[in-house]
Amino acid sequence: MLLLASFAAAAIAVVNGRKAVAIETTSSAEIAERYIRGLLRRIPTEIPLMGLHAVLSRETFHLRHAQLHIRDYSGALIPVTRMRLNEPEPASRSSPKWFQLLMTPQTEGAAGRLVLVPGTQMAVIISGEPIDEIDEKWNELSDLAMIWLTVVAILLSGLFVIMGRILDPLVDLAHGLKALEAGSREQRVTVSRTRELAEIATTFNSLAASLDQVREENGTLYRQIMAVQEEERRHIAGELHDEAGPCLFAITVSAESIDRLTAKLAAADADKIRSRSREILEVAERLKTMNRALLKSLSPMSIGKVSLPSLLDDLVKEFERRHSGINIVKSIELLSPSYGEKIDLTLYRCIQEGLTNAIRHGRANSISILLNEGLPNKTVSIAHGDGGGVSVNLSIRDNGVGLDPSAEMGFGLAAMRERVLSVNGTWVVGSNWPAGVAISISIPAASIERAKTSIRHSQVQAAQ
């Protein structure tokens, strides 16, 4: 709008300036004609050409916006160069050619005014000369444009400052909402000096504090539920290991013994019995395989005993074995073999759930897993004694069908989110480009080696 207003003002200034130039040029020509007529009546008759040229040059220096020519006896036009009597040229900036063409009135180029010289066959021709007036208009409009640009710059600067005061708190609020969505429990916004925005910021901080309290209660409850769940999984896994395992082993041994006893029977009967016993052995082996897979799924027995990278590598290989058509690319760059059973189990379950969701619900055929260490999240405070905390970052991306924005979050993703929040981590799920789902997880942690070093350091300080 400001640009359109500037163009409109410039167009109006040009139109008005062109009219003013036409009026000023016509008026100056009329004044010059009256003056020349009076001057010619005062000079001697039959004045020679050079004398007339000298008189006009000397006596017409003050005429503005008029150009004089003398028509001699032969009809030739001789321009009159007017003297300025040692007066300095007025300070003026010459206008550009395009501005002169734009401002020159349509009457310019007419024949001009003819004044006969008494007693001679000569005449003085007076024509309008708008260039001086156009230069003056150019100077005026240039000065007005500079003033206008200065005013606009001041207005824009003031608007920038005012909008900054208004928008900065809103941007801060938007960042706060994103941080809360990602699970940052300590996020607060600065209270603005503007009353309306201050009320919004105060309400946001109050809501964040209430949400923090509710989330803490939910986290405590969920940690208890997860503890019970993991305990129940261990119990079921123990039952499968202690009961189903020996039973399957007994079935295998019995089938093998039946196979050996067939050696004492007739060939026809022995073949039938061997066929049945081998079918029993095949079923028993399939049940053993299923039992081992269930044991790994319910309770990874190696957590706390095997390094985390090896444990996750075994998990990915198990998925690759069961889903041979899925391309799973993993990159694990961890500096510590373990971060404690709680965090190791959280990472294990998140990768397990992420792979399951991508294959079962996303129908993805390509999945990438990236796990590495980084700087700790500034919004999460973790005490490690020596302050040597790190952030374990997990990214799971697939090329599946993606998330339905209108659908509610499924149980698997909700469970993953609560697991991460229960260990003070952040969890963000979104769309992967060009298709699929992207899950980003960051968990503050300390390696087992750092934790042990910190404990020993604290014990030494306490002893001293």
Whether 175 is in a domain gets the answer: no
Whether 167 is in a domain gets the answer: no
The domain in which residue 57 lies consists of: 2-152
Is the domain of 285 the same as that of 365? Answer: no
Question: Which residue has better confidence, 387 or 448?
Answer: 448
Residues 217-243, mean pLDDT to the nearest whole number: 76
What pLDDT is recorded for position 12? 85
Is the domain of 143 the same as that of 40? Answer: yes
Whether 162 is in a domain gets the answer: no
Is the domain of 8 the same as that of 147? Answer: yes
pLDDT digits (tens, 9 = 90+) for 10-54: 788 878 878 888 888 888 888 888 888 888 888 876 778 788 888
Is the domain of 345 the same as that of 452? Answer: yes
CA distance linking residue 145 with residue 153, whole number of Å: 12
Whether 157 is in a domain gets the answer: no
Is the domain of 331 the same as that of 426? Answer: yes
Whether 176 is in a domain gets the answer: no
CA separation (Å) from 36 to 25, 33, 42, 124, 396? 16, 5, 10, 8, 96
Whether 355 is in a domain gets the answer: yes
Confidence category of residue 370, pLDDT binned at 50, 70, 90: very high
Q: Residue 188: which H helix or E strand, with range?
A: none
Is the domain of 276 the same as that of 332? Answer: no
Q: Is the pLDDT of residue 206 over 60?
A: yes
Average pLDDT, the chain: 79
Whether 241 is in a domain gets the answer: yes
| Domain C-terminal end among 252, 273, 299 | 299
Q: Residue 115: which H helix or E strand, with range?
A: strand 113-116
446 token code pair: 């300390």
pLDDT digits (tens, 9 = 90+) for 73-90: 888 888 888 765 444 455
Is the domain of 237 the same as that of 195? Answer: yes
| Domain C-terminal end among 269, 299, 329 | 299
* Closest to 50 in 3D by CA, of 122, 116, 156, 106: 122
What pLDDT is recorded for position 97? 83
Number of domains in the chain: 3
Is the domain of 242 the same as that of 293? Answer: yes
Question: Which residue has better confidence, 85 or 65?
Answer: 65
Whether 213 is in a domain gets the answer: yes
Q: Is the pLDDT of residue 411 over 60?
A: yes
Is the domain of 148 the same as that of 16? Answer: yes
Q: Evaluate whether 276 touches 259 at the Cβ level (below 8 Å).
A: no
Is the domain of 100 the same as that of 223? Answer: no
Is the domain of 379 the same as that of 260? Answer: no
pLDDT digits (tens, 9 = 90+) for 342-351: 898 899 989 9
What pLDDT is recorded for position 447? 53
- Cα 448 to chain center, whole Å? 39
210-216's contacts with Cβ under 8 Å and 24+ in sequence apart are 211/180, 212/185, 212/186, 215/185, 215/421, 216/185
Q: Is the pLDDT of residue 387 over 60?
A: no
115-119's contacts with Cβ under 8 Å and 24+ in sequence apart are 115/33, 115/36, 115/37, 115/40, 117/40, 117/47, 117/52, 118/40, 118/41, 118/45, 119/45, 119/46, 119/47
Q: Is the pLDDT of residue 302 over 90?
A: no
Is the domain of 378 the same as that of 259? Answer: no
Q: Is the pLDDT of residue 368 over 90?
A: yes
Question: Which residue has better confidence, 269 or 86?
Answer: 269
Structure pTM? 0.49
Q: Quote the percentage of the chain above a pLDDT of 90.
A: 9
| Domain C-terminal end among 130, 152, 174 | 152
CATH code of the domain containing 337? 3.30.565.10
**Mean pLDDT comparison of 325-329, 387-391, 403-407, 430-434, highest-scoring range:** 325-329
